[in-house]
Amino acid sequence: MSNTLEPTKYQDWQIAAAAETGMKPVSHLGAELGLQSDELIPFGRALARVDYQRVLGRLSQPGSGKYIDVTAITPTPLGEGKTTTTIGLLQGLGRLGHRVCGALRQPSGGPTFNIKGSAAGGGRAQCIPLAPFSLGLTGDIDRVTNAHNLAMTALTSRMQHEANYDDATLTRRGLRRLNIDPDRVCLKWAIDFCAQSLRNIVIGRGGRMDGLEMASGFQISVSSELMAILAVARDLEDMRGRIGRIVVAADHDGNPITTTDLEVAGAMAAWLIEALNPTLMQTIEGQPVLVHAGPFANIAIGQSSIIADQIGTMLTDYHVTESGFGADIGFEKFWNLKCRYSGMRPDAVVVVATIRALKMHGGGLPVKPGARLPEEYRRENLGLLEKGCENLLAHLAIVRASGAEPVVCINAFSDDTAAEINLLRRVVGSEGAVCVHSEHWRKGGEGAIELAEAVIAAANRENSFKFLYELDMPLRQRIELIVKQIYGGAGVDYSETARARLAELEKDPEVSKMGVCMVKTHLSLSHDPNLAGRPVGWRLPVRDILVYRGAGLVVPVAGDIKLLPGTSSNPAFRRIDVDVKTGKVTGLF
């Protein structure tokens, strides 16, 4: 496979395009992973879905492969490189002769065409083919969007019919009156773009045949409860049952209205049957990667799927999965939600940081995407770096609190100095952890050998993994525990809406079976994106509490976070195009 382009001279999409000329056929890739031919559902030459039912049915026993999670420090505009590190680690483990597999989340169209770009990694540590990966892949997000909007279609049409017809007419049409309260609709429409103008809209304008006029809005598709269900579902029966428990609204007496009440749950499940099968791709160096479920751990669960992780640990020596954003958000949800649902336990956890990002957490000048990088990030500054290490140590402490074994990976840049690297090794070493300066972005698997060796050593040590809380702990205490022990806050302040909702939920016996899925900014350990480093003395303002009964999640919403991000003034789509002679997509990053 071609892997000769120098990352300092070529853009990511050019490196990916060069590597794609030597990709393994997906049938070859599947055979190397240990899949049988009838367990692959081809999607062209380079992609295939994996028939999870056949694979899990054939193997049946829990996987014995080592289970590795990749998380990071608090994100900055400089980028930390979780996906790049995940892929680099896979390539490094492959270079050492181990059978490996990775699990990544499918990129959302919102960030792909906005500031962040795709989520395929970078340099010589990428997942390919890049264009399909970035532009819809095998259609999972489209299926989630359609299934979600089908629920909204069922809801709004039922509301219109109930407004226009009496009980006798509804009965003749095979319907019972649900008495839905337009002010208690808790679902929005879904779209996979960052379209801020659709956050708050009015629908049903016109006449009586144009629907019921009411306030509505959109959320980004990957924040849908259906995406969380896709991440945690163990099989079709489990997914179908969860879809039927989704609450879309309440009636005038406050009773929940579910997709089962609307008789739409079965049709929604029909949209998602194929989406239960992960998509098989490969790294630039030919290691298999399963792509399944979606991103955005700040407003969703943000994890690759349980199904993908089960397949990976069953078929390989080392399976590397990825959690969204920092350890306070992505790893906390991996730890207390995903691992609880799956019964799987991590053997090691990689915490990714960059020296540049740590300098920003230490008080470096703000960085805006597309603007020139201030000189303090390009030259040695041990004072800024040492101060910024407080953020790294906070995330290290979060991982340690789970009992898992952490490895700190410094994702290398060319202007990192020996003194800065030594400072980080000393600080991390004082906490009893290993710190590796890894050059996978520039050198691929060769540059990740030391990282791979450190992860192997960590994964083969005993750990004492345990959950932060048990589900019988009162909801209020669970929220407070996350705020104090994970975020480092002083406590929680509830709005009147959230306080009333909390009192209502504490009387609900079903809540005792649900995990807590916090919604807060990913840009700070706190609720305030402007507070870098390791802020202290702050309190988390919870403005609302949502309940995802299908996914089994109670969702406290903190601060002013939006479920539909906005598009910037300099979005990535301005640089994406196609070569009209070859049909190749250019400009993806």
**Assigned CATH topology for domain 475-558:** Formyltetrahydrofolate synthetase; domain 3 (3.10.410)
3-state secondary structure of 90: helix
Mean pLDDT, consecutive 10-residue segments, the chain of 589 residues?
72 90 95 97 93 94 91 90 96 98 91 77 93 91 97 96 92 93 95 93 91 93 94 96 97 96 98 97 97 83 94 97 92 96 96 96 84 86 96 97 96 94 96 96 97 97 95 94 97 96 90 89 92 94 94 91 81 84 83
What is the phi/psi pair of residue 356, to 5°?
-60, -50
Show Cβ contacts of residue 127 under 8 Å, excluding neighbours closer than 6 positions: 83, 87, 102, 104, 120, 121, 133, 281, 282, 283, 289, 291
CA distance 557 to 518: 6
What is the reported pLDDT for 296?
76
What is the reported pLDDT for 512?
75
169-174: list long-range contacts, CB under 8 Å, 24+ apart: none
Cβ atoms of residues 284 and 444 within 8 Å: yes
CA distance 259 to 266: 9
Which region, left, alpha or beta, applies to residue 533 given φ > 0 means left and ψ of -120 to 50 means alpha?
left
What is the reported pLDDT for 1?
45
571: amino acid identity, one letter: P
**SS3 readout for 329-390:** HHHHHHHHHHHHHHCCCCCEEEEEECHHHHHHHCCCCCCCCCCCCCHHHCCCCHHHHHHHHH
Show Cβ contacts of residue 60 under 8 Å, excluding neighbours closer than 6 positions: none
What is the reported pLDDT for 397?
97
Q: How many CB atoms neighbour CB 500 within 10 A?
A: 12
3-state secondary structure of 567: coil
Sketch the domain layout of the chain as residue ranges.
1-462, 475-558
Q: Is the dihedral of CA 376, 377, 380, 381 positive or negative?
A: positive
What is the reported pLDDT for 2?
45
| CA geometry: angle 293, 298, 303, nearest 5 deg | 25
3-state secondary structure of 241: helix
What is the reported pLDDT for 586?
86
Show Cβ contacts of residue 204 under 8 Å, excluding neighbours closer than 6 positions: 156, 160, 210, 211, 212, 213, 214
What is the reported pLDDT for 3?
52
Bridge-based pairing state of the strands 318-322 and 100-104: parallel
| DSSP structure string for 278-321 | PEEEEETTS-EEEE-S---TTTS--B--HHHHHHHHHH-SEEEE
Rg (C-alpha) for the chain, rounded Å, is 24
312: amino acid identity, one letter: G
CA-to-CA dists, residue 505 to 376, 475, 499, 535, angstroms: 49, 8, 10, 30
Cβ atoms of residues 23 and 46 within 8 Å: yes
Q: Which of 311, 353, 186 has the alpha carbon at shortest distance from 254?
A: 186
CA distance 398 to 482: 10
Show Cβ contacts of residue 38 under 8 Å, excluding neighbours closer than 6 positions: 51, 54
Q: Which of 481, 429, 489, 479 has the alpha carbon at shortest distance from 454?
A: 429
**pTM exceeds 0.85:** yes
What is the reported pLDDT for 56?
94
CATH of domain 1-462: 3.40.50.300
Identical fold between 1-462 and 475-558: no
Cβ atoms of residues 434 and 390 within 8 Å: no
The total number of residues written for the chain in this structure: 589
Which region, left, alpha or beta, applies to residue 418 given φ > 0 means left and ψ of -120 to 50 means alpha?
alpha
Cα-Cα end-to-end distance for the chain: 20
Q: Which residues are marked as active site? A: 82, 84, 105, 116, 297, 325, 413, 441
Omega within 30 of 0 (cis) for the link into 256? no
Cβ atoms of residues 78 and 357 within 8 Å: yes
**Per-residue exposure over 121-144, b if at least 16 CB sit within 10 Å of its own CB, e if not:** bbbbbbbbbbbbbbebbbbbbbbb
Q: How many CB atoms neighbour CB 342 within 10 A?
A: 20
Strand segments, DSSP code E, in 157-283 are 189-191, 201-203, 214-216, 218-220, 247-250, 256-258, 279-283
Cβ atoms of residues 555 and 563 within 8 Å: no
CA-to-CA dists, residue 308 to 276, 313, 315, 557, angstroms: 9, 9, 11, 28
